[in-house]
């Protein structure tokens, strides 16, 4: 398949995006055309003024060529004519200033307020809909960069590439026509170096594009290092790894700098070489144009001087090519990264004939389910079991045996590679996704709390919940007492990640959050993994309340937790190796009994 992100396709797509704002673009271009006309008018008037003065002083020289209808009345004094020309130029300059202001405002409004805001919102919205797999494959630094920096590159494309190229093409055409109308051979001579300029530009953009791509990758890595340090600050400090982290950051920082420098070197050679060529043009003009003026073939003001002005404008626009070529590469690299997010397939989506699931009873089955994060590397193999509504299933297994993965297949965070997962007898892939997830409550090992009030955090999955519903959920999760013990109660603002709460308190809020939805299926992924034994008891009490009348899966490594389950599944390397009640499993040799003996050798036999 051909590259969907070739320059041509990227540009076409960006143009299609801009089409939505075509009236703004037309307005912007209209301002530019009027600006150009006023500029040319001003230049023409300067030429006329000079020729008029020269003729007044030396009547033997050519009289000025007044364009049709512009010749001043014969009664005017020389001073009057010069003053009139100067006044006209002043008016034009004022009009230009006003138009330039309007142009700047319109561009800023179009890009900053509309194109970029919309794009950022689209990327954000898409990110939320993307499956977990996307986040497995992309580091968070890269994702953050795509929403912020790369969206800006797209804005840069519209302004610095699209508008500037159109303005450039338009101005070059006008300048060229004007110069040709003054003197054809002089024009050709002065522009002889232009093809060389194009060559340099083309070679520059070919070389610099890969460098910009690499630059984005390196800067992603830099942000990732920063994000990891901020998120893992406790680990960094606890293990006294500040120096190593700093070195790693410095290393990433240095790499970005060195790479940036190599780009900078290229740009540094490119810009002056184009500047030099424009100076060469001016030298040709002076030599050849001066010769023509002396021979009387070219007027001084309307000819040589206007020509010099035009040539300078022309060269300035041509050296803009450098800037545009530079920006186009940068903005296409950014645009590609934005489009990659917008195009990423949403693997987990509603099937066209998705069935609604108002309230599940809570029967769950796994039928010969095999799943792997990467093709050919199954993490779960041939998992089969059936759970009745209201049953509590404990899951035990060493780290990496696939416990979390097994849970994540129920709310369809991932889809099984083979086999089926059903809820109430219906394949989860056939159920309406939002309905399915509303029926599944989740509590992770460590729960994510947002920087918002306690009430808002509990109501995260059900924003329309009333205060009474929130309180009742908090009571079930044994969180009500500690919440009301705080000065602001439910209105207490949590800091980022709920850092001002203890681990046990955070987990109880998470349980309240899960319970508020009144789900028929509750998934608890080792909710006591990160807490001390006393807090564990508090959490388990909350869990006990929360489980009532729900199908519950609880991943746990503590036998104390598992003995309350109706049935325990023991996982090893992605397979179920044992299954049964605590009382049964404890009697037979195997993984369960070993774990129990390890935890409390004494009382196990007695249970």
Query: Is 84:48 a contact under the CB 8 Å cutoff?
Result: no
Q: Is 183 in the site for ligand ADP (CB under 6 A)?
A: no
Give least dist CB 315 to ligand ADP, A. 56
Query: Is 411:399 a contact under the CB 8 Å cutoff?
Result: no
Decide whether 273 or 445 has the Cβ nearer to ligand ADP.
Answer: 445
Q: Which of 400, 434, 495, 548 is the binder for ligand ADP (CB under 6 A)?
A: 400
Decide whether 138 or 475 has the Cβ nearer to ligand ADP.
Answer: 138
Segment holding 142, helix H or strand E: helix 140-147
For residue 557, the 8-state DSSP code is S
SS3 421: strand
Q: How many residues bind ligand ADP (CB under 6 A)?
A: 11
Q: Which of 403, 437, 480, 593 is the binder for ligand ADP (CB under 6 A)?
A: 403
Q: Which of 39, 42, 334, 397 is the binder for ligand ADP (CB under 6 A)?
A: 397
Q: Which of 373, 385, 413, 482 is the binder for ligand ADP (CB under 6 A)?
A: 373
* Stretch of residues binding ligand ADP (CB under 6 A), selected from 83-91, 300-308, 319-327, 393-401: 393-401
Binding mask 584-603 for ligand ADP (x = CB under 6 A): --------------------
Decide whether 31 or 371 has the Cβ nearer to ligand ADP.
Answer: 371
Query: Is 445:457 a contact under the CB 8 Å cutoff?
Result: no
- Residues 281 and 304: their CA atoms lie apart, in Å, by 13
Give first-to-last CA distance, the chain, whole Å.
Answer: 64
Q: Is 399 in the site for ligand ADP (CB under 6 A)?
A: yes
Burial of residue 354, with CB atoms counted within 10 A of its CB: 0-12 exposed, 13-18 middle, 19 or more buried: middle
Give least dist CB 380 to ligand ADP, A. 8
Site for ligand ADP in 103-162 (CB under 6 A): 136
Q: Which of 44, 301, 309, 402 is the binder for ligand ADP (CB under 6 A)?
A: 402
Q: Is 519 in the site for ligand ADP (CB under 6 A)?
A: no
* Stretch of residues binding ligand ADP (CB under 6 A), selected from 86-94, 97-105, 156-164, 398-406: 398-406
Q: Which of 329, 401, 505, 561 is the binder for ligand ADP (CB under 6 A)?
A: 401
Decide whether 183 or 558 has the Cβ nearer to ligand ADP.
Answer: 558
Decide whether 4 or 400 has the Cβ nearer to ligand ADP.
Answer: 400
Structure tokens belonging to residue 231 = 């998120």
Q: Is 49 in the site for ligand ADP (CB under 6 A)?
A: no
Neighbours of 405 (CB within 10 A): 19
Structure tokens belonging to residue 47 = 């030429």
Residue 134 backbone class (left: φ over 0; alpha: ψ -120 to 50; beta: rest): alpha
Give least dist CB 171 to ligand ADP, A. 54
Give least dist CB 589 to ligand ADP, A. 22
Give least dist CB 200 to ligand ADP, A. 47
Give least dist CB 403 to ligand ADP, A. 4
Decide whether 136 or 481 has the Cβ nearer to ligand ADP.
Answer: 136
Residue 560 backbone class (left: φ over 0; alpha: ψ -120 to 50; beta: rest): alpha
* Stretch of residues binding ligand ADP (CB under 6 A), selected from 222-230, 343-351, 399-407, 538-546: 399-407
Extended strands (E) in 397-436:
418-423, 426-427
Give least dist CB 218 to ligand ADP, A. 24
Q: Is 376 in the site for ligand ADP (CB under 6 A)?
A: no
Q: Report, in angstroms and rounded to the nearest whole number, the Rg of the chain calculated over CA atoms.
A: 37
CA-wise closest residue to 499 among 446, 553, 462, 442: 446
Q: Cα torsion for 175, 178, 182, 185, to the nearest 10°? A: 50
Decide whether 32 or 507 has the Cβ nearer to ligand ADP.
Answer: 507
Q: Is 379 in the site for ligand ADP (CB under 6 A)?
A: yes
User: What DSSP string runs through 305-356?
Assistant: IHHHHHHHHHHHHHHHHHHHHHHHHHHHHHHHHHHHHHHS---S---TTPBP
Q: Which of 156, 159, 330, 405 is the binder for ligand ADP (CB under 6 A)?
A: 405
Decide whether 379 or 515 has the Cβ nearer to ligand ADP.
Answer: 379
Q: For 63, list phi and psi in degrees, rounded to 5.
A: -75, 155
Q: Cα torsion for 26, 32, 35, 36, to the nearest 10°? A: -120
* Stretch of residues binding ligand ADP (CB under 6 A), selected from 122-130, 402-410, 498-506, 589-597: 402-410
Burial of residue 5, with CB atoms counted within 10 A of its CB: 0-12 exposed, 13-18 middle, 19 or more buried: middle
Query: Is 120:396 a contact under the CB 8 Å cutoff?
Result: no
Q: Is 404 in the site for ligand ADP (CB under 6 A)?
A: yes
* Stretch of residues binding ligand ADP (CB under 6 A), selected from 55-63, 181-189, 395-403, 506-514: 395-403
Decide whether 137 or 242 has the Cβ nearer to ligand ADP.
Answer: 137
Decide whether 458 or 543 has the Cβ nearer to ligand ADP.
Answer: 543
Query: Is 84:72 a contact under the CB 8 Å cutoff?
Result: yes
* Stretch of residues binding ligand ADP (CB under 6 A), selected from 108-116, 199-207, 300-308, 400-408: 400-408
Structure tokens belonging to residue 388 = 């009745």
- Residues 145 and 336: their CA atoms lie apart, in Å, by 13
SS3 572: strand
Residues that bind ligand ADP (CB under 6 A): 136, 373, 379, 397, 399-405
């Amino acid at each position: 398949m051909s590259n969907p992100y070739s320059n041509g396709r990227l540009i076409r797509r960006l143009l299609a995006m801009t089409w939505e704002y075509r009236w703004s673009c037309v307005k912007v271009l209209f301002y530019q055309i009027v600006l150009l006309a006023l500029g040319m008018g001003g230049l023409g008037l300067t030429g006329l003024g000079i020729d008029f003065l020269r003729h007044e002083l030396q009547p033997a020289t050519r009289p000025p060529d007044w364009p049709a209808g512009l010749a001043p009345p014969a009664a005017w004094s020389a001073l009057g004519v010069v003053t009139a020309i100067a006044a006209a130029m002043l008016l034009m300059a004022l009009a230009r200033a006003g138009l330039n202001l309007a142009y700047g405002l319109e561009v800023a409004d179009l890009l900053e307020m509309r194109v970029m805001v919309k794009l950022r919102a689209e990327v954000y919205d898409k990110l939320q809909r993307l499956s977990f797999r996307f986040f497995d494959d992309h580091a968070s630094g890269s994702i953050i960069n795509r929403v912020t920096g790369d969206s800006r590159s797209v804005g840069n494309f519209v302004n610095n590439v699209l508008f500037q190229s159109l303005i450039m093409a338009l101005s070059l055409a006008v300048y060229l026509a004007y110069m040709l109308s003054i003197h054809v051979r002089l024009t050709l001579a002065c522009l002889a170096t232009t093809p060389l300029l194009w060559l340099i530009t083309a070679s520059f953009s070919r070389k610099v594009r890969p460098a910009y791509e690499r630059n984005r990758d390196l800067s992603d890595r830099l942000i990732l290092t920063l994000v990891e340090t901020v998120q893992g600050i406790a680990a960094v400090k606890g293990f006294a790894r500040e120096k190593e982290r700093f070195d790693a950051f410095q290393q990433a920082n240095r790499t970005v700098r060195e790479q940036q420098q190599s780009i900078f070197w290229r740009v540094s050679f490119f810009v002056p070489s184009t500047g030099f060529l424009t100076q060469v043009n001016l030298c040709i003009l002076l030599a050849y144009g001066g010769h023509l003026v002396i021979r009387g073939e070219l007027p001084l003001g309307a000819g040589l001087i206007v020509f010099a002005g035009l040539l300078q404008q022309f060269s300035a626009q041509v050296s803009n090519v450098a800037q545009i070529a530079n920006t186009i590469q940068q903005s296409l690299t950014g645009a590609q990264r934005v489009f990659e997010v917008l195009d990423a397939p949403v693997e987990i989506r509603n099937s066209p004939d998705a069935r609604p699931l108002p309230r599940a009873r809570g029967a769950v089955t796994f039928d010969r389910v095999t799943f792997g994060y990467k093709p050919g590397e199954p993490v779960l193999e041939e998992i089969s079991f059936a759970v009745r509504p209201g049953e509590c299933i404990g899951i035990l297994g060493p780290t990496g045996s696939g416990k979390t993965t097994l849970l994540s297949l129920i709310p369809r965070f991932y889809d099984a590679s083979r086999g089926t997962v059903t809820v109430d007898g219906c394949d989860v892939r056939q159920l309406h996704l939002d309905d399915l997830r509303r029926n599944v409550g989740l509590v992770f090992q460590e729960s994510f709390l947002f920087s918002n009030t306690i009430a808002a955090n509990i109501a995260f999955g059900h924003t329309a919940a009333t205060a009474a519903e929130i309180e009742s959920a908090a009571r079930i999760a044994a969180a009500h007492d500690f919440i009301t013990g705080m000065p602001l109660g439910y209105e207490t603002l949590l800091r980022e990640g709920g850092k001002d709460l203890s681990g046990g308190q955070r987990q109880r809020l998470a349980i309240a959050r899960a319970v508020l939805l009144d789900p028929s299926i509750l998934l608890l992924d080792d909710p006591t993994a990160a807490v001390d034994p006393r807090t564990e008891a508090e959490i388990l009490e909350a869990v006990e309340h929360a489980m009532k009348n729900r199908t519950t899966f609880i991943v746990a490594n503590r036998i104390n937790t598992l003995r309350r389950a109706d049935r325990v599944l023991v996982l090893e390397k992605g397979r179920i190796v044992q299954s049964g009640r605590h009382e049964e499993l404890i009697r037979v040799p195997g993984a369960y009994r070993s774990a129990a003996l390890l935890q409390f050798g004494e009382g196990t036999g007695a249970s």
